[in-house]
Amino acid sequence: MLTERQTQERRLQSYLTRKLSEAGDEIAPEIRDLVCGNSQDEIEAAINLAKTKTAQILAGIRQAQARPDDVDPAWAANVREGISDLPDVGHMSMSEYARYRQAAGIGRAASGRGILDPIL
């Protein structure tokens, strides 16, 4: 025979399971196990918080995936197509790379130590 406390815990667990099922995709699967409570009101509050946090996470992902407004559409299309007017420095010899850097104005610092020269 179940005690009153055990009966209440089972009811709350059943309520939680039902509410999580009703929430569906509004709560990220990674957050579902964090939803809990000692009463129906606490469970409702936890579910609402989980929905809010899921929406915030999704908004952050969408924002991170969005193309910035100041990107040239032609450049973005070239990137998608794998077209670039920049040299493939990964396949250059060291001497070719040195010439490229010099021509681009990014050659060595006068002392030969590079960007750390001012602080060394």
Give the integer Cα–Cα distance in Å for 98 and 92: 9
Give the pLDDT of residue 66. 73
Q: How confident is the model at residue 117 (pLDDT cuts 50, 70, 90)?
A: low
Q: Is the pLDDT of residue 47 over 80?
A: yes
Render pLDDT for 9-25 as a digit per residue (tens, 0 to 9). Answer: 999 999 999 999 999 99
Angle between helices 40-65 and 4-23 (to 10 degrees): 30
Q: How far is CA 39 from the centre of its chain?
A: 33
Q: Which residue has the higher pLDDT, 120 or 50?
A: 50
How high is the pLDDT of residue 28? Answer: 94
Residue 104 in tokens: 């681009």
The pTM of the full predicted model, rounded to 2 decimals, is 0.54
2 dihedral zone (left: phi>0; alpha: psi -120 to 50; beta): beta
- The model's pLDDT over 63-112, given as tens digits with 9 standing for 90+, comes to 887 766 677 777 777 777 777 666 777 788 888 888 888 887 776 655 55
Q: SS in 3 state form for 11-26?
A: HHHHHHHHHHHHHHHH
